[in-house]
Amino acid sequence: MTTQTWIDGLFAGAVYALVALGLTITFQPTRVMNFAQGEALVLGAAVGYQAISLGRLSWPVALLLAVVLGALMGVATERMTMLPMRLSGSRFGWIVAALAVALIAQSLFTLNYSDVDALRPPPFAEGGLEVGGGRIAWQVSLTIGIALAVTAAYDAFLRHSLYGRALRAASHSPGTAVLMGIPVQRIVVLSFVISSAVTALVGLLAAPVLFIAPTAGLMFTIKGFTAAVIGGVGSPRGALTGGLIVGFLDSVVRAEINATAGNLVVFGLLALILVVFPAGLFGKPMEAH
């Protein structure tokens, strides 16, 4: 097992952790898993490819575009997921709605980039650093650092801000939160906006390194969902821990055996953890709304 394998695992874990964080952000006030979360990551990669590779724009402009377009995608996803669920009156209507959003987004990416195998812009910074026989590119270091910073910032935001208190109240009991004057609907929309913007950001940062195809969104959603469940849905720290576990396992097993074995080990660990820790490593049992 080489140092490079561990570096690759840390990088993949950081990406999965931010996808898991995005899922956690929307799940807290809604109890809904956004199955279109991975499409926001593809959006970020597409912005990088379109703006930097084709449009010759700078990285700061691409970063701004990714965050803004990610936020707009969050608003659209909330409308297309939550509104049908409320109108149908079904507890499970969100599953069909969320999958429909994912398929629509995937179709749009496929139509626009049918001749592109990977949405890969040039890196923000060329070169890297030799570490213990492995090489960590500056783009990889940047992505890992931002993943850690975003997770820590959101965790602090959740614990110490008025929004965080309101979100926790809405998550615990939306009916009571409304009676207390908390704008639950506004919080729900904001959660989709933040989660999609964060995921689009990591998509842009990871695109120069990872193979992000126009159809790769669902795969990232599944890996992020696995990370969120392992760490404990609803916990930012759990999202980070779960993402790192999934990334390291996936990278190590892929390097030592093959890609299929990597998926088998990751999902096998998920089953084992849920038997021992039904709420995940850091999660708490939560009642349904």
Tell me, yes or no, whether 284 lies in a domain: no
Residue 194 inside a domain? The answer is: yes
d(CA 11, CA 21): 15
Cα angle for residues 21, 117, 17 (degrees, 5° grid) = 10
Average pLDDT, the chain: 85
Residues of the chain above pLDDT 90, percent? 43
Mean pLDDT of 6-16: 91
Residues 191-235: tens digit of each pLDDT: 999 999 999 999 999 999 988 999 999 989 988 998 988 888 877
In a domain, 287, yes or no: no
- Residues 132-142: what's their mean pLDDT? 86
Q: What distances in angstroms separate CA 56 from CA 23, 61, 159, one per listed residue?
A: 32, 10, 40
Cα angle 227, 229, 231; round to 5: 70
What integer pLDDT is reported at residue 185 of this predicted model?
81
Name the band, by pLDDT with cuts 50, 70 and 90, for residue 130: confident
Give the pLDDT mean for 248-262.
74
pLDDT recorded at residue 167: 76
Angle between helices 217-231 and 236-256 (to 10 degrees): 120
Q: Does a structural domain hold residue 201?
A: yes
Q: What is the pLDDT of residue 110?
A: 93
Written as one string, the DSSP assignment of 120-150 is: -PPPSS--EEEETTEEEEHHHHHHHHHHHHH
Tell whether 131 is covered by a domain: yes
In angstroms, what is the C-alpha Rg of the chain?
19
CATH at 79: 1.10.3470
For the chain, percent helix, then strand, then coil, each to nearest 5?
75, 5, 25
Q: Residue 179: what pLDDT?
A: 63
Q: Give the span between the Cα atoms of 253 and 240, in whole angstroms.
A: 20
Query: Does the residue 285 lie in any domain?
Result: no
Which range, of 60-69, 171-180, 248-257, averages the lowest pLDDT?
171-180
Neighbouring residues of 146: CB distance < 8 A, sequence distance ≥ 6? 201, 202, 205
- pLDDT at res. 72: 97
Q: Is the pLDDT of residue 283 over 70?
A: no
Q: What is the pLDDT of residue 260?
A: 65
Q: Residues 232, 281: contact at Cβ < 8 Å? A: yes
| pLDDT at site 231 | 85
Q: How far is it, in rounded angstroms, from Cα 224 to Cα 37?
A: 9
Residue 262 placed within a domain: yes
281 within some domain: no
Which residue range(s) make up the domain with 238? 3-276
pLDDT tens string 79-103: 999 888 877 777 778 888 899 999 9
Tell me how many domains the chain contains: 1
- Give me the pLDDT at residue 100, please: 92
